[in-house]
Amino acid sequence: MSIGPTLETDRLILRPPATEDFDAWVAFAADPEVARFIGGVQTPALVWRAMCAVAGAWTINGFSMFSVIEKESGRWVGRLGPWMPVGWPGTEVGWALAKSAWGKGYAVEGATAAIDWAFDELGWDEVIHAIDPVNARSVNVARRLGSTHLRDAMLPDPLNLPVQLWGQSRESWRSRKR
């Protein structure tokens, strides 16, 4: 049973989370460098809860983050996509990838597909990316997507973190793609 769509890019499959993603998600969340800007290292029990929250958002909201599967290897390499829990500062398309997937352009490739989907299927007028100001890698991804620094915000409980909101309007996104 699928709880949401599957999107494909040249090198990636984006699909809702599935049980078989759990072990890779645990390894991802246990890496301090990977987890630094997404709430910190998590135990398997906390990863389970986070994964279920992402999967449950598909049922509650009709959208959520996708599991990112590398086509060539079939490996789970991260999660990205639409995200807007209660109190969130806007309609976000976010990303976080396992270290083995860094530097391959997967964040831009996957986020591009997710942004297209959010504008086309969800009808969003704006996409933001909530980024820790010292996270240079994510700022670079946002810039490559054509996003600009829009404003500063605080993430809601339980994170309570100051972030920069990068993003763009649907009109800006569409004009960029022409």
| pLDDT number for residue 178 | 57
Amino acid making up residue 88: W
- Cβ-based burial of 11 (10 A; exposed 0-12, middle 13-18, buried ≥19): middle
pLDDT above 70 for 2 = no
Tell me the average pLDDT across 152-175. Answer: 94
pLDDT interval class at 162 (50, 70, 90): very high
More confident call, 79 vs 40: 79
Residue 75: helix, strand or coil by DSSP? coil
| Per-residue model confidence as pLDDT tens digits over 98-114 | 999 999 999 999 999 99
pLDDT above 90 for 96 = yes
Residue 91: helix, strand or coil by DSSP? coil
Q: How far is CA 170 from the centre of its chain?
A: 18
| pLDDT number for residue 3 | 85
Tell me the Cα Rg of the chain. Answer: 15
pLDDT above 80 for 31 = yes
Domain segments of the chain: what residues? 7-125
Among 3.90.550.10, 3.40.50.11750, 3.40.630.30, 2.40.50.140, name the CATH number for the domain at 7-125: 3.40.630.30
Tell me the average pLDDT across 112-139. Answer: 97
On average, the pLDDT of the chain sits at 95
- What is the C-alpha to C-alpha distance for residues 114 and 81, in angstroms, rounded to an integer? 5
Q: How far is CA 141 from the centre of its chain?
A: 12
The tokens of 136 are what?
Answer: 């240079």
Percentage of residues of the chain with pLDDT beyond 90: 90
